[in-house]
Structure 1
């Protein structure tokens, strides 16, 4: 036994292979079962299977050995043989609920959640107070998005013990409350979980919950601690920048997002936020550069395209608006939200036919947008399309009956 344990700890596969045959002949079944569990613990799946196969030969009626070997076979990808073993466990055996739990795990991994739940419920009918089964039910409910039901079970288990099956229930409750948008409760459980263990995921989760509950200073503290613990936790930088932005500290928000870009230069959302923060700091050219980088990473990144086109329009860079629109079209991507910018740009560049074409396309989506209708109306007037302009003026009167300018404009047509 000692030689085998030493070989396992050293990762000496050749020595394990030499020892295993005599081990199965000379050691008692209890030691063989023990070494199989050690093999599983260290990831020696094939060796564990050899031991369980041997034990199954010795004790063909032993349900626990069949269950253990089935678990190993599933690890090896031999699901059919594993299922045959599990189906062979009689439903009156004391181990039958465990069999149902293993089957539930298998079906859950296959995405067959309803079948998995049926197996767990069947086991709970036999052992309704078994915490392991209740925990398995909660885990399944959590994975399938049934957060309220999952929380109820987790809370009941939490009253019994703070840790279950090696899982911190405070952490699990934090995760399920966060997933269900119960951020206040999530935050409290995250802080409790952090008293037990400080990990990057827990720090980020607590920061996210703090952000969602408008505790921006605390979110910043957690994220700064996270950066010290794991500087390559990329998600931290965007949330940190957003937290500074919510406190209207736009300079520090830009610093944070730039730091994130040094760590991850392939995240389009970082470039987009960097562009927005550069605009907040009146760094127009820098903002344009960040937005262009975001679009280079994803030519169909709608929000970045819209922000960049808005910047170009504000700065009256109408050729740039048209170039960006042509780029979008070349990528076989069209988006009506861009039309008002493009129509105005063609108008300003005196490409009136194209401007009219885009205004016409935009009308269906913007026929209740006063700003758009006003520009469209005056464009039609300048182009001599009086009847169409009159119809738009009439719409403006209906949308803003208290605005005298629309009545005056309509009277001019009359």
Structure 2
């Protein structure tokens, strides 16, 4: 087969075609069948079909050839040709269950899950103990969100797992339980899979499952191993930082996320998280810097904008808040959630006309926010706008009917 391999690796289609023509005349059918498989492996699907066509001509009743050719047609997006071949496989043929399975794969691929399940069930009816058919049904159930049924099938296959050598059933069960949010059940299977192979994806998903059930120390162990193996596994930095935060190890959380930033300086969520953790640590300037970086990456990043606005407001950094608002406005982004903060800033700066304008803007969108409405009422009273204050008080009375303050204030 070496001449064929060299021609394929060199991409010499003309030479490959000549070799195939000669081999179809001189080779024996078994070797020709091997050639079809080799061509398919290298991605020369049309040439593989050519060889199978020849064999089909020699052995027109051989069902396996029809199935092989149909599978190639499916890869080539020639569904009609594939279906025509598959539907001609005789029900009495030993290959009929495989034809049904190929049909099921096709219907599953195009989203006709009920039809796919019917085909698999028909095949299982013929070969009820065939592991590959049962595994295929488990995969279909997983894809359609029937996690418990899928898990039962996969667990039943564990005693015969050697019959499915290309699949790690432990890992598959872990994935199924995780997909169904049954993380506690998934964890032992992840651990079993990790005993066989310590792979980055498995470590990440094992740590995520541990995080979900609050096994934070285990999650940290897996994530540190993951990032040691693959420092560019970016999702690991965020999860590690979140895990340290849950353990109230905020210094470690900040280090984890800044390590992530060093690896991927364009991930806005890293900067947002770093800003939040810096605030927890009382590092206001550091938090401001991280949040500003997040907004530079995405000028409409509402989470970062809100937290930075809240920070400026609580620290009475009024000029900075107004500057942020004006900068965003120049970039054609304006968000009503900023208005209460800006109104308070203008009020503290004794720019009462501007404060009044933003209070009015905020009032339209924040009539359910009692804390804002309270500030607005007292601002209006200070400005002598009693009729407007009464209107806002009426809203507060409805929101907080148990609070006598608002009824007393009217009196």
2:311 alignment partner in structure 1? 311
The number of residue pairs the alignment matches comes to: 409
Whole-Å separation in 1 of the counterparts to 2:409 and 2:83? 83
Deviates more, 1:101-110 or 1:88-97: 88-97
Whole-Å separation in 2 of the counterparts to 1:255 and 1:271? 12
Shift of 1:189: 0.9
Q: Is 2:408 the partner of 1:411?
A: yes
Deviates more, 1:303-312 or 1:231-240: 303-312
Task: Verify the 8 A CA contact 1:162 1:168 in the aligned structure 2.
Answer: no
Deviates more, 1:70-79 or 1:303-312: 70-79
1:215 alignment partner in structure 2? 215
Compared CA separation, residues 357 and 198, structure 1 to 2 (3 A): same
2:238 alignment partner in structure 1? 238
1:306 counterpart SS class: helix
Shift of 1:253: 1.0
Question: 1:362-405 CA deviation, whole Å, 9 max, x = no partner?
Answer: 4465444332222111112122221332344455466556766x
Question: 1:33-69 CA deviation, whole Å, 9 max, x = no partner?
Answer: 1232233334443442232122112122222101101
Compared CA separation, residues 374 and 108, structure 1 to 2 (3 A): same
Task: Verify the 8 A CA contact 2:271 2:290 in the aligned structure 1.
Answer: yes
1:199 alignment partner in structure 2? 199
2:227 alignment partner in structure 1? 227
1:344 alignment partner in structure 2? 344
Counterparts of 1:140-155 in structure 2, within 5 Å, are: 140-155=140-155
Question: 1:147-184 CA deviation, whole Å, 9 max, x = no partner?
Answer: 22322222222344277351111101111111211111
Taking structure 1 as the reference length, what is the TM-score of the superposition? 0.88
Task: Verify the 8 A CA contact 2:177 2:185 in the aligned structure 1.
Answer: yes
RMSD, matched Cα: 2.9
Counterparts of 1:32-43 in structure 2, within 5 Å, are: 32-43=32-43
Whole-Å separation in 2 of the counterparts to 1:325 and 1:125? 68
Deviates more, 1:117-126 or 1:293-302: 117-126
Question: 1:176-196 CA deviation, whole Å, 9 max, x = no partner?
Answer: 111211111111110011011
Counterparts of 1:336-375 in structure 2, within 5 Å, are: 336-353=336-353, 355-363=355-363, 366-375=366-375
1:11 counterpart SS class: helix
1:290 alignment partner in structure 2? 290
Whole-Å separation in 1 of the counterparts to 2:119 and 2:353? 67
Whole-Å separation in 2 of the counterparts to 1:252 and 1:86? 59
Compared CA separation, residues 92 and 362, structure 1 to 2 (3 A): farther
Whole-Å separation in 2 of the counterparts to 1:66 and 1:262? 55
Whole-Å separation in 2 of the counterparts to 1:163 and 1:127? 14
Compared CA separation, residues 152 and 7, structure 1 to 2 (3 A): same
Whole-Å separation in 1 of the counterparts to 2:359 and 2:303? 21
1:52 alignment partner in structure 2? 52
Whole-Å separation in 2 of the counterparts to 1:43 and 1:364? 62
Compared CA separation, residues 20 and 330, structure 1 to 2 (3 A): same
Whole-Å separation in 1 of the counterparts to 2:85 and 2:408? 88
Compared CA separation, residues 100 and 359, structure 1 to 2 (3 A): farther
Deviates more, 1:204-213 or 1:368-377: 368-377
2:9 alignment partner in structure 1? 11
Compared CA separation, residues 387 and 92, structure 1 to 2 (3 A): farther
Any gaps of 5 or more consecutive residues in structure 2?
none
Any gaps of 5 or more consecutive residues in structure 1?
none
Whole-Å separation in 2 of the counterparts to 1:26 and 1:149? 52
Compared CA separation, residues 402 and 6, structure 1 to 2 (3 A): closer
Question: 1:209-228 CA deviation, whole Å, 9 max, x = no partner?
Answer: 11111111111111111111
